Structure 1
């Protein structure tokens, strides 16, 4: 499929300003998060364990670090496969930067906001039309859904998770939270609908009504183009992309297996022998709970959820350092390292643009 030029809904300035804010927030969050994790380790961990950390098998720690960072690669490959399949000449570096940007924004904004909007916007910045970018994001959702529809029931059956009292309690809490979230979404949608009706009827002033009509017409034009591209991509996937979809689902399985196995490798490093399948399932529970935590990156709530869920499954003397280590590996390490890499990319791109302008001016 030949790529078509599409309207740029997300201006480069808007995305750049947002990512600059993300980097500044990351620089603020990381030191405080690290100090908080060190304090938690000191207070809630048996000090004999802390003194003997140097004697533990570090191979499991290195494995935990690899498992925490490898999802960057798999996520990038998923984006790259579909972008190239549609016909866009993008590099691994381009898609890696998109992956990092989405991961960083998810880390410093509430988890429920997700990074998909920024992933979409950054792909549009790379010259991918809006409909194609939306299709790639949606294909990612489908890949995740296909994996979890198989992995979660299988994990429940293999680990006999229904026997855990903590999961029964969390299930009831999640149902209550879900109802509150759904009610809030419905209320917000109704409020937006009511305000738009008032705006178009002129009840908020003629000036606002004219601007609203212009915005609505512009939005409809863009949506027609986006939906045209969107349908074209899915027709192409159905005709010629089935094998690629199978490949990306396999890569998705590797990605989530890595991310949800960090805690198992960390537990083995600390000397606790655990059930990897059960711990995989409980990671899914915790990351689902984090969606309902309104703090940036679910800070505070994620640690509390981990402590609550794993407290009954790990030795009391280890749960403090396990909580701090898990959060360090799955959040603060990727946030700090991702911010540094993204900053290096920005500096390199700025230098390239400066050299290009200098060459143009000298040539002119």
Structure 2
């Protein structure tokens, strides 16, 4: 099932333009987000309580930063393992760029949209067939689901989380919002379906009908080819990929443990001694709640959810700086650093393409 080397000649125009827009939006959002976090930290923090802390242990802050950024590495390794297992000779740099592109896109779009479309599109751009790329994305979903099916019940049991009234109130709110989101999604699908059916019937004219029929035929061909690739990959994983799935499952466990432990390291930095298992579980609750917040990167709603959940669990007067610090580490630092790295990759690739064109021009007779 070996494939030819992934292409590196350049990005597809549509994807490239989309990534450029994401990058510009990300760079635009960072200053405003940082200023907002500084304002929240200043007005919601008891400055007398902050002075009582003395000199906090900076090692916990460095640990929190490491825990926030290390998931980039684990996510890249997961993509790399499956891409090479299928037979694509991609590099760590290729998959790291895919990871960054997905992270940036999920930061400037509503969290529910995720970065899967960009992850899939960038893998296709690297020469991975559409079905194979879809399989890699799906395997990531399965790994995440398998981990949380184990981790969440264990966390609930060890932390006795059912005793927290804030979780019950958040559950009721999320249930109501989930019904609204599902209702809107179903209504949107029905509207699109009815409109497309009208186009194919010729209700809107023969020219739109002809374009609709051509589009449908192309879509069916692509879907058939993608589905065949998708099925072949999953049969291969079931037959020969069980050990790799175990490896990626362990990497997945490290990834989510790091991401959901940032707040614990931050709490220790602020002088609070907390239950890491409970704080892991509460991070899962917050990141799940962010899926129902329609703002880019769940801006505003993420801070409100954190404040609501942790207000009674962190030292009085420090919830403001804790909220701002958590959001800074898990969002704005990643957004700023990821944008810079991604921009550096773009510049390096542009220089490589320019050099190759010059070399090709010099070799021409």
* Shorter-chain TM band: over 0.9
Asked whether the equivalents of residues 74 and 252 of structure 1 are also in contact (C-alpha less than 8 Å), the reply is yes
Change in 2 beyond 3 A, CA 1:347/1:5: closer
- The answer to whether the Cα contact below 8 Å between 1:4 and 1:129 also exists between their aligned partners in 2 is no
Tell me the equivalent position of 1:145.
145
Change in 2 beyond 3 A, CA 1:328/1:205: same
Distance in structure 2 (CA, Å) of the matches to 1:270 and 1:186: 45
Aligned mates of 2:257, 2:113 — CA distance in 1:
23
2:138 is equivalent to residue 135 of structure 1: no
Q: Shift of the alpha carbon at 1:3?
A: 2.5
User: Which runs of no fewer than 5 residues in structure 1 stay unpaired?
Assistant: none
Equivalent position of 1:18 in the other structure = 18
Q: Matches of residues 192-231 of structure 1 in structure 2 within 5 Å?
A: 192-231=192-231
Aligned partner of residue 55 in structure 1, secondary structure? coil
CA contact (8 A) 2:260 2:280 kept: yes
* Residue of structure 1 equivalent to 2:79: 79
Of the structure 1 ranges 49-58 and 14-23, higher mean CA displacement relative to structure 2 is found in: 49-58
Deviation of the 1:197 alpha carbon: 1.3
CA RMSD of aligned residues (A): 1.4
Match of 2:288 in 1: 288
Superposed counterparts of 1:1-364, under 5 Å: 1-3=1-3, 12-51=12-51, 55-364=55-364
- In the TM superposition, structure 1's runs of 4+ consecutive aligned residues that sit over 3 Å from their partners are 48-54
Distance in 2 between residues matched to 1:40 and 1:200, nearest whole Å: 53
TM-score, length-normalised on structure 2? 0.97
Change (3 A) 1:52 1:73: farther
TM-score, scaled relative to structure 1: 0.97
* Closer/same/farther in 2, CA of residues 105 and 53 from structure 1, 3 Å limit: farther
**Does the 8 Å contact 1:102/1:118 carry over to 2?**
yes
> What is the Cα deviation at residue 185 of structure 1?
1.4
Provide the secondary structure at the position in 1 that maps to 2:341.
helix
The CA distance in 2 between the partners of 1:121 and 1:49, in whole Å, is 49
Conserved? CA contact 2:202–2:208, under 8 Å: yes
SS at match of 1:309: helix
Alpha-carbon distance between aligned partners in 1 of 2:295 and 2:99, rounded to the nearest angstrom: 22
Distance 1:304 1:332 in 2: 16
Conservation of the 8 A alpha-carbon contact between 2:53 and 2:271: no
Q: 1:29 to 1:51 in 2, by over 3 A?
A: farther
Q: Select between 244-253 and 26-35 the one with higher mean Cα deviation.
A: 26-35
User: Is the contact between residue 4 and residue 89 of structure 2 (CA under 8 Å) also seen in structure 1?
Assistant: no
Q: Note the alpha carbon deviations across 1:80-101, whole angstroms, 9 max, x for none.
A: 0000000000000000000000
Q: CA deviation at 1:2?
A: 2.2
Post-superposition offset of 1:53: 6.7
**Secondary structure in 2 aligned to 1:316?**
coil
Contact 1:45 1:318 in 2 (8 A): yes
Answer yes or no: is the 8 Å Cα contact 1:3–1:129 preserved in 2: no
Secondary structure at 2:89 match in 1:
coil
Residue by residue, what CA displacement relative to the aligned partner does 1:277-314 show, whole Å, maximum 9, x if unpaired? 01000000000010111111000110000000101111
